[in-house]
Structure 1
Amino acid sequence: MTSTNALENPLELASDDIRAAALFGAAEAARKARGDHSVLVVCPAAWTSKITLLEQAGYKNAITWFIKMVG
Structure 2
Amino acid sequence: MSKLDEAEKRLNRALSALEAAAGASPGGVSPSHNPIEDDLKAARAEVGKLRALNKSMAEKLDDTIQRIKSILEN
TM-score by length of 1: 0.35
Of the two, which has the highest radius of gyration?
A: 2
TM-score (norm 2): 0.34
